[in-house]
């Protein structure tokens, strides 16, 4: 027979109540088991939750580490880019300094005086001569030889006159040329004088008035091929060389003048596209700065006028 404990309790009314201890123990054990099971479940749930949280935290940490590494790479790239940009900036500054110095040399070469009020771009624009600008200057300013070049028989400046036998200033050059050698205009212009000029001793003389204050004189001619008031282009035949006037033999007397002041024609005879800038250094009696500025201004005004004429409003 299984042993068990019975507890009997008598209340105030002498009522008896009996409790089987084995049933109580079973209930306690059941409750304890349920509580333990609940505790285990809660514990397992907590462990699973914490484990999941740890994994999420590790994943986030991994993402943060990856983002931080990427940020460090970008930061290094940025620093590298900044260093490279700084190097390029320093290089550009050095190049700009060299350009400014070179520009100053060009300005000095053509007689320009740098102004602090002008930007570097404006200074460049002032000295920048395009092929069209060069063509304009070589078209309107005397250049090249008026006859087939065979040499000089008498230079520009003080000399002993071959006929008068006294020292005098020679305002031009005498170019070696056989009798009746073709003489050509050295720039576009209008014929100011064409005929015999006794007072100067030049005999048959042609004077051509060019643009920008320049004039050319052709003396001792055998024959004049143009008339006063006639427009001529560079390369047009204007006369034939000769021995007229105060001369001791066939040749061409050639002068280049600027605002009536004689210049050394030899510099202009040797002036052309190949050595275009040399004249600015060799001939200091011409204000090339204002002349170039005027040519550039004419070009700008011409372009502005063409732009206005080609605009839709102008075509209506």
Long-range contact list for 72-76, CB < 8 A, 24+ apart? none
Q: Looking up tokens 């008498």, which residue turns up?
A: 154
Give tens-digit pLDDT for 3-33. Answer: 555 656 666 666 666 666 666 677 787 888 8
How many Cβ atoms sit within 10 Å of the Cβ of residue 99? 14
DSSP-derived secondary structure letter, 242: B
Question: Is residue 207 left, alpha or beta, with left meaning phi > 0 and alpha meaning psi from -120 to 50?
Answer: beta
Q: Looking up tokens 């009997």, which residue turns up?
A: 8
For residue 256, what pLDDT band results from cuts at 50, 70 and 90?
very high
| Widest pairwise Cα distance in the chain | 180
Going by C-alpha positions, the residue among 154, 177, 179, 176 that lies closest to residue 167 is 154
Q: What contacts 154, CB < 8 A, 6 or more positions away?
A: 162, 170, 173, 174
Give tens-digit pLDDT for 185-239. Answer: 999 999 999 999 988 899 999 999 999 999 999 999 999 999 999 999 999 999 9
pLDDT number for residue 227: 97
Report which secondary-structure segment, H or E, holds 95. Answer: helix 21-109
Q: The tokens of 200 are what?
A: 């100067």
Q: Can you tell me the distance from the alpha carbon of 143 to that of 139, in angstroms, rounded to the nearest whole number?
A: 8
pTM of the complete model? 0.60
pLDDT number for residue 297: 74
Domain ranges (residues) in the chain? 1-109, 111-129+276-305, 146-265
Going by C-alpha positions, the residue among 314, 248, 312, 303 that lies closest to residue 130 is 303
Q: The tokens of 259 are what?
A: 């605002």
pLDDT number for residue 307: 46
pLDDT number for residue 51: 85
Comparing 23-27, 123-127, 299-303, which segment has the lowest mean pLDDT? 299-303
Q: How far are the Cα atoms of 18, 209, 215, 233 from residue 140, in angstroms, in the given order? A: 142, 10, 10, 9
Q: Can you tell me the distance from the alpha carbon of 115 to that of 112, in angstroms, rounded to the nearest whole number?
A: 9
Q: Can you tell me the distance from the alpha carbon of 226 to that of 76, in angstroms, rounded to the nearest whole number?
A: 79
| 258 in Cβ contact with 223 (< 8 Å) | no
Map residue 231 onto helix, strand or coil.
Answer: strand
Q: Which fold has domain 146-265?
A: Glucose Permease (Domain IIA) (2.70.70)
Round the average pLDDT of the chain to a whole number and report it.
83
């Amino acid at each position: 027979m299984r042993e068990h404990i019975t507890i009997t309790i008598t209340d105030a009314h002498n009522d008896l109540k009996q409790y089987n201890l084995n049933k109580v123990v079973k209930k306690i054990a059941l409750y304890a088991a349920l509580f333990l099971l609940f505790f285990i479940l809660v514990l397992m749930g907590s462990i699973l939750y914490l484990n999941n949280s740890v994994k999420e935290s590790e994943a986030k940490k991994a993402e943060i580490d990856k983002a931080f590494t990427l940020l460090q790479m970008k930061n290094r790239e940025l620093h590298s880019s900044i260093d490279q940009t700084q190097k390029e900036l320093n290089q550009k500054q050095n190049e700009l300094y060299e350009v400014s110095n070179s520009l100053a040399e060009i300005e000095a070469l053509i007689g320009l005086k740098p102004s602090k009020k002008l930007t570097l771009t404006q200074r460049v624009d002032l000295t920048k001569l395009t092929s069209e600008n060069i063509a304009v200057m070589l078209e309107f300013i005397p250049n090249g030889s008026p006859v087939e070049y065979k040499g000089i028989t008498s230079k520009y400046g003080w000399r002993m006159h071959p006929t008068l036998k006294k020292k005098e200033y020679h305002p031009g050059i005498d170019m070696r040329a056989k009798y009746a050698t073709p003489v050509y205009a050295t720039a576009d212009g209008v014929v100011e004088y064409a005929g015999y000029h006794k007072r100067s001793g030049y005999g048959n003389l042609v004077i051509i008035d060019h643009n920008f204050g320049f004039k050319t004189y052709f003396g001792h001619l055998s024959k004049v091929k143009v008339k006063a008031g006639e427009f001529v282009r560079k390369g047009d035949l204007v006369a034939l060389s000769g021995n007229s006037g105060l001369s001791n033999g066939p040749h061409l007397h050639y002068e280049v003048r600027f605002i009536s002041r004689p210049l050394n024609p030899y510099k202009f005879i040797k002036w052309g596209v190949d050595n275009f800038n040399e004249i600015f250094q060799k001939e200091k009696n011409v204000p090339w700065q204002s002349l170039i500025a005027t040519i550039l201004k004419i070009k700008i005004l011409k372009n502005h006028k063409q732009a206005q004429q080609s605009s839709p409003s102008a075509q209506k």
